[in-house]
Amino acid sequence: MTRKHWIDNLRWVTVVLVLLYHVVYFYNNKGVFGGVGGFGEGPQYQDVLMYILYPWFMPLLFLLAGISARYALEKKSGKEWFKLRTRKLLVPATIGLLVFHWMAGYFNTHVAGNDVFAAVQQPVKFFLWAVSGIGPLWFIQDLWLFSLILLVVRRLTRPLHVTKECGLFSSQWLLVLGLVVLGVLFWFGEQTLIFNPRAESLDGLWNLYKPVFYVIPFLMGYYIFSIDEVQETLGKVWAFVMAAAVAAGIVLVVTTFGQNNTTPQYLASPLNCLYGWLMCLAMMGWFKKKFDCTGCFASYMTRSSYGLYIVHYLVIASLGYMMKVYTQLPPVAMYVILTIAVLTLSPLLYEVIRRIPVLRWCVLGEKKQK
């Protein structure tokens, strides 16, 4: 099968957007958990980037992961594929915490202005730093779990002969209707969040990992969006869908700016779900139509985007924290410096790690240098 470069390009572009999102998120003053805090109580209009990106960029990554899983399982057995997934996903999300991400965890425990583990003795404190360093790695932890779920679902659906050549997609109108139905399923996934999380419980972790919500686009990618006819249709109508998505996004931002855009009530709102779903469809259609090509830079980003995602948050947590706490730099300088740093130091850090065999396996889940 000819490689679909638009999927590669959309994936690495989305990862870059994740990096930019985390720069803004780290200094937000909207009450979003995990950042070091903003610059006063007044409006920070740069925070609008969070409202634009958060409803759709992680569901989109799970959609693309589901599509890629379909293509990979056409070439490998389920056992072989899951073994590779375990090394690529579970090793960095467990062993990698102890080897690398504890450093981000160290800064995460200081973002409130003091060390929340100050009274804890070593080596317990080190393990708490490691757990606190999970950060964006929740994504690959979810993805490993969904890979396991997919193998179970495939085995259960094997007697039904669920294939990509299913005749349900011969009619474009029927396909459009199906995408509307899937949008309702997207909304349903958000309803599984705990709307009133209890303090000192695991409710907050459930709302962070959102396993029911994210497994839905992952399985959609595997069973629906890996089908050529679906991709072709999205490529034909991308402009109309993008226009609808932009309209929904404008209404969402204008009517909700200033709210904490990560609360369950916000995420489960019909408008947020509508915007998020339309943007997922629009981005896939746009890249299918316009960006199904590659080059030297795109090839590099295709190969390295996963590693950049893995290592980037240490740059943000360390430099972002130290600038906020130990300098008097104006806010605009902090944003500019942190943006440049995450886009330059993250690739440098990744290139160093991938050249050291032990670190490459522990942090990136790779056996050999590519």
Confidence at residue 170, expressed as pLDDT on a 0 to 100 scale: 54
Q: Which of 5-9, 28-32, 101-105, 165-169 has the lowest mean pLDDT?
A: 165-169
Whether 364 shows a pLDDT value over 60: the answer reads yes
Q: Which of 41-50, 198-207, 247-256 has the lowest mean pLDDT?
A: 198-207
Q: Which of 126-130, 252-256, 294-298, 314-318 has the lowest mean pLDDT?
A: 126-130
How many C-beta atoms lie closer than 10 Å to residue 193's C-beta? 19
Alpha helices in the chain (DSSP H): 5-26, 48-53, 57-73, 78-85, 95-96, 102-108, 124-132, 138-157, 172-190, 203-209, 211-223, 228-256, 264-267, 270-290, 296-326, 331-353, 357-364
Angle at 276 between CA 275 and CA 282, to 5 degrees: 85
pLDDT per residue over 196-234, tens digit each?
998 778 898 999 999 999 999 999 999 999 999 899 999
Percent of the chain with pLDDT over 70: 94
Both tokens of residue 5? 């470069």
Confidence of residue 164 (pLDDT cuts 50, 70, 90): low
pLDDT per residue over 111-154, tens digit each?
866 666 777 788 888 999 999 999 999 999 999 999 999 999 99
Confidence of residue 345 (pLDDT cuts 50, 70, 90): very high
Confidence at residue 111, expressed as pLDDT on a 0 to 100 scale: 81
Confidence at residue 113, expressed as pLDDT on a 0 to 100 scale: 63
